[in-house]
Structure 1
Amino acid sequence: MAVAYMLPVLFSAVFVGGFILLVMAAINFDLSNSEIPPGVTHPVKLRIIHITSIATAVVGRILENIGICSQIGFVRYLQGWTLGADPKLFIKDLWFEKVPVRIYQPKVPSASRRKGVMFFHGGGWVLGSFETHKKLCCYIARESESVVIAVGYRLAPEHKYPAAYEDCLNATIHFMRNTEHYAVDPANVIICGDSAGGNLAAAVTQTLAGRSDLPRLRAQILIYPGLQALDFNLPSYQQNPRVPLLSRERAAFFALQYLNGHAANMEEVLSGAHIPIDIKLKYSKWVSPDNIPEKFKVRGYKPHVLLDCTTEVYERVKRFCEPSLCPLLAEDAVVQQLPQSFILTCEYDVLRDDGLLYKKRLEDNGVQVTWCHLEDGFHGIITMFNNVWLSFPGGTRGLDNIVNFLKSL
């Protein structure tokens, strides 16, 4: 009888003890492997979010090791939790050809056809879903009175490049050919995405820029996009290598997962020994720290020595030189045809310079650019604009700039 009484108490103690150890380990890992710059507003909030993500990853790894589920699957499952609906929107899940989409339509009647926003979510091509960006899509649709179409593209590592790109492209083409079904003006279709979704948005926009069989895109909105994988030693990578929520190593990891379905050759990619010198020099007119304004180097920058690579390594990663994977490498003839653009960058983000380099490329080729730079921003800040008490003023400010840009079109 005493044993039966003690077992629940023992299990509870083990669970509580394990939870405490998990939290302590996550805190220790965060403090040892991350750095939050003093310019970030509410640094404690960012630490809490990062510690939570670390603990989630650890639990996922444990479950993977004991054969219950994969680590990525567990993280995706937790990210899929979302509550509530927006009473001001009609929300419906559909399929555009073979691609799942979620449509957000304002219930308020409109005297004219609305704008249509194709939205590609972030998550390093590995994570992210309709649910992780539901609040963001609702806000954009509601506040800009636009129809938002979120695309549920296939994720890596199960589906390697170009699966995500092809899904986003095919869904966009389908929508552009059927805008009348959603009361959208075919001359007012905008492509939008954050992080990896920003990469996909830029790639899709480039592909459609020269299409004569489709209406011209009205604009593109790129939210801290990742646009190249040739140089992981640009000033923003050197200045923010351990800033949550995207470290330098994590950025390279995601790019490799998308490209090859695994993260081999991480060391070569981070050191720059994955692309031959002659190819680096070919693209140096576009991917170069020389094209970054000097004010973005004051926090520290050391020129990186060019390293050559072996044929074996290059064969594995040579598709990094394809514009549909790295849009910053597109030819001028393509860039010149791009529509009006909005680019958002964050000071404390490894991808900051990708956005700055693309901004320069667009402007050099006569494309009108609206630029929003969050001085207190970090990667992922926009999606936390409405995260109860873990939101950040910079995220709300950036999102309001996006909505105002949409309204101005």
Structure 2
Amino acid sequence: MKSVVVIAAAVLFLAYYCNEPVPDGVTQPWVYAAMGIYFRTLGHVARLGENLGIARDAHIRRATISGVTNIARKFKSDHRTGLHVTDTTFDGVKVRIYEPAAVHPAGDRRTGLVYFHGGGWAQVAMDDLDELMAYIPKQLGNVLVAVDFRLAPEHQFPASFDDCLVATKFFLRHAEDYNVDPSRVGVGGDSAGGNLAAAVAISMTKEKEFPKLKVQALLYPALQAFDFNTASYKDYGHLSPLTTDLMISFWLWYLNDDLSSLELLKTNNHTTDALKKSQFAGYLNHNIVSTPLNKKDVEFPSIEKIETILDPRFAPLMANDADVKKLPPTYVMTCEYDVLRDEGVAYARRLEKLGVAVQHDHYKHGFHCCLIDINTIDVAREAMENYVSYLKKNL
């Protein structure tokens, strides 16, 4: 009798645990469910490991993802075929350079893309997205520089941003050494990498001694830590692979490595009434009739470094209009089932309103992290084909 009870309990537990919510609009529900279960399990394991004193939550996530990625890679063909791949450093920053092996016509320089990987500034190492980053130069025939920036929580803001900016400047300065036209170099990235690309693009508008960036090309970017009650956070914040709690954890690991204020951010109690009526709120919600507010006049709750949420190097959506107007032509990808959807949409609309050339591709069947497997996930393959097409036309 005991064995029957144990088996029944195990079956019920598995049925409950594997009952992953899948939005009706997702066209490959089994893929979404599998990813959701994987990332939900990863979260449970990471929190348990931290509670047991084994390692930090973020570090367990990173090690587990890298381990699973390495195992999966053994069952796939070599995704680097046709490329020369070199690991080196640019002014002390680790980078990986992907160059097409095919001979390029003499005197005809290639285009270049400096790419920043996603993973919440903490959860994913550069190696884990090697396949995605190799795909771009293979299809585009360009030179891609992937930046292995320092990760949170051991390295907090502005470490990741600083590494990305340093690497971008170095490549622009030495582009011709890689047979790249320095006037045809852009920046790109996915998720947290999209955040870094947008932040670098804004900073480069202030640089006079470097060629202007040709494009910024952002894939479901994280752009603001101001409002965690947007419609997309409300509608999809309970869904894996990117829940509201996890996204706020990423922001806090990057900001100050202190998750004790997570609930304050989740309820938007990290901003004041004055801020909620200011131009900063208007950058995200264009329906707000905002009152101009100087950053120096803002009083924040007692959360370490919380004023950084208005720094465009940390949250690019908070850049002022004068800087936004100077940005290069921009590509923004957003997905319907993604807590980051609304800020990507708001950014694209704002740039367009300020006169920046924008292409915004929104995927009604898309979800965050879909780009993790462009061979299996249909919407990911479509998105990357469109991404490469944009770069071919605009780099």
Q: Which TM-score bucket, shorter chain as reference?
A: 0.7 to 0.9
Which of 261, 283, 286 pairs up with 2:283?
286
Partner Cα distance (2:15, 2:95) in 1: 37
Quick check: 2:271–2:300 contact (8 Å CA) kept in 1?
no
Partner Cα distance (1:216, 1:279) in 2: 33
Counterpart amino acid of 1:264?
S
Q: How do 1:257-406 and structure 2 match up within 5 A?
A: 257-282=253-278, 283-288=280-285, 290=287, 311-313=300-302, 316-386=305-375, 391-406=376-391
* SS class of match (2:347): helix
Partner Cα distance (1:65, 1:311) in 2: 31
Partner Cα distance (1:173, 1:327) in 2: 19
Partner Cα distance (2:266, 2:229) in 1: 7
Residues 70 and 24 of structure 1, relative CA distance in 2, 3 Å threshold: farther
Partner Cα distance (1:321, 1:384) in 2: 34
Quick check: 1:275–1:318 contact (8 Å CA) kept in 2?
no
Alpha-carbon offset, residue 64 of structure 1 = 4.3
Alpha-carbon offset, residue 88 of structure 1 = 0.1
TM-score by length of 2: 0.87
What is aligned with 1:145? Answer: 141
Residues 214 and 310 of structure 1, relative CA distance in 2, 3 Å threshold: closer
Partner Cα distance (1:187, 1:167) in 2: 21
What is aligned with 2:25? Answer: 39
* SS class of match (2:195): helix
What is aligned with 1:105? Answer: 99
Counterpart amino acid of 1:75?
R
Alpha-carbon offset, residue 35 of structure 1 = 3.0
What is aligned with 1:249? Answer: 245
1:347-384 Cα distance to aligned partner (Å, 9 max, x none): 11110011111011111111000111111000011222
Q: How do 1:123-134 and structure 2 match up within 5 A?
A: 123-134=119-130
Residues 56 and 234 of structure 1, relative CA distance in 2, 3 Å threshold: closer
Does 2:392 match 1:407? yes
What is aligned with 2:153? Answer: 157
Deviates more, 1:55-64 or 1:233-242: 55-64
Alpha-carbon offset, residue 180 of structure 1 = 1.2
1:304-357 Cα distance to aligned partner (Å, 9 max, x none): xxxxx9854355411111111111111111011100110000011110011111
Alpha-carbon offset, residue 123 of structure 1 = 0.6
* SS class of match (1:290): coil
Counterpart amino acid of 1:287?
L
What is aligned with 1:218? Answer: 214
Alpha-carbon offset, residue 239 of structure 1 = 1.5
RMSD (Å), alpha carbons: 2.2
Alpha-carbon offset, residue 207 of structure 1 = 0.2
Partner Cα distance (1:290, 1:93) in 2: 47
Q: How do 1:158-197 and structure 2 match up within 5 A?
A: 158-197=154-193
Residues 58 and 269 of structure 1, relative CA distance in 2, 3 Å threshold: closer
Alpha-carbon offset, residue 61 of structure 1 = 4.3
Residues 75 and 217 of structure 1, relative CA distance in 2, 3 Å threshold: same
Counterpart amino acid of 1:352?
R
1:212-249 Cα distance to aligned partner (Å, 9 max, x none): 10001000001111111111111111121222211122
Residues 377 and 27 of structure 1, relative CA distance in 2, 3 Å threshold: farther
Q: Percent identity?
A: 35
TM-score by length of 1: 0.84
Counterpart amino acid of 2:103?
P
Residues 200 and 24 of structure 1, relative CA distance in 2, 3 Å threshold: farther
* SS class of match (1:160): coil
Residues 133 and 144 of structure 1, relative CA distance in 2, 3 Å threshold: same
Does 2:71 match 1:92? no
1:40-84 Cα distance to aligned partner (Å, 9 max, x none): 111122111221233334444454455544443333223224334
Quick check: 2:59–2:123 contact (8 Å CA) kept in 1?
no
Quick check: 2:172–2:185 contact (8 Å CA) kept in 1?
yes
Quick check: 2:46–2:57 contact (8 Å CA) kept in 1?
yes
Quick check: 1:26–1:55 contact (8 Å CA) kept in 2?
no
Partner Cα distance (2:204, 2:14) in 1: 44
> Which segments of 5 or more consecutive residues in structure 1 lack a partner in the other structure?
1-16, 292-308
Counterpart amino acid of 2:238?
R
* SS class of match (1:173): helix
Which of 235, 250, 253 pairs up with 1:239?
235
Partner Cα distance (1:287, 1:150) in 2: 29
1:80-116 Cα distance to aligned partner (Å, 9 max, x none): 2433452200011111112111111001112211111
Alpha-carbon offset, residue 267 of structure 1 = 1.2
Residues 249 and 29 of structure 1, relative CA distance in 2, 3 Å threshold: farther
Quick check: 2:284–2:347 contact (8 Å CA) kept in 1?
no
Counterpart amino acid of 1:376?
H
Partner Cα distance (1:62, 1:270) in 2: 22
Partner Cα distance (1:334, 1:375) in 2: 31
Which of 201, 205, 215 pairs up with 2:197?
201
Alpha-carbon offset, residue 251 of structure 1 = 1.3
